[in-house]
Amino acid sequence: MAYKITDECISCGACEVECKNQAISEGDTTYVIDPDKCTECIGYFESSKCAEVCPVDACVPDPEHEENKEQLLEKWHKLHPGETPA
Ligand code: SF4
Ligand code: SF4
């Protein structure tokens, strides 16, 4: 499932540079994740990079975007046509 950023976010920007899908951007009060671009890092890594680097644990799975591994990989292929997942 796609990740989301909670209100705990202190807008440090550490997660944005880690996201290889460019799913993270600066929002009005916190950074935000575009669920159409978040693959849970599937296609690149085994685990979610944004969650790993966030100093306040504000990057969490979003239960409103329930997706299985196959769906996440399909999303990755649409975002990166012609590329091979890691
Ligand atoms: S889980 Fe991965 S793909 Fe999703 S927003 Fe975080 S860094 Fe980007
Ligand atoms: S790393 Fe965490 S605190 Fe920093 S911008 Fe991202 S979600 Fe916010």
Each residue's pLDDT tens digit, 32-51: 999 999 999 999 999 999 99
Q: Where does ligand 1 bind, in terms of residues with CB under 6 Å?
A: 3, 18-19, 21, 23-24, 33, 38-41, 48-50, 59
**Right CATH number for 3-79 from 3.40.50.300, 3.40.640.10, 3.30.70.20, 3.40.190.10?**
3.30.70.20
Answer yes or no: are the C-beta atoms of 58 and 16 closer than 8 Å: no
Whole-prediction pTM value?
0.96
SS3 label, residue 77: helix
Which of 32, 47, 23, 38 is CA-nearest to residue 71?
A: 38
76 confidence band (pLDDT: 50, 70, 90): very high
**Closest ligand to the CA of 50:** 1
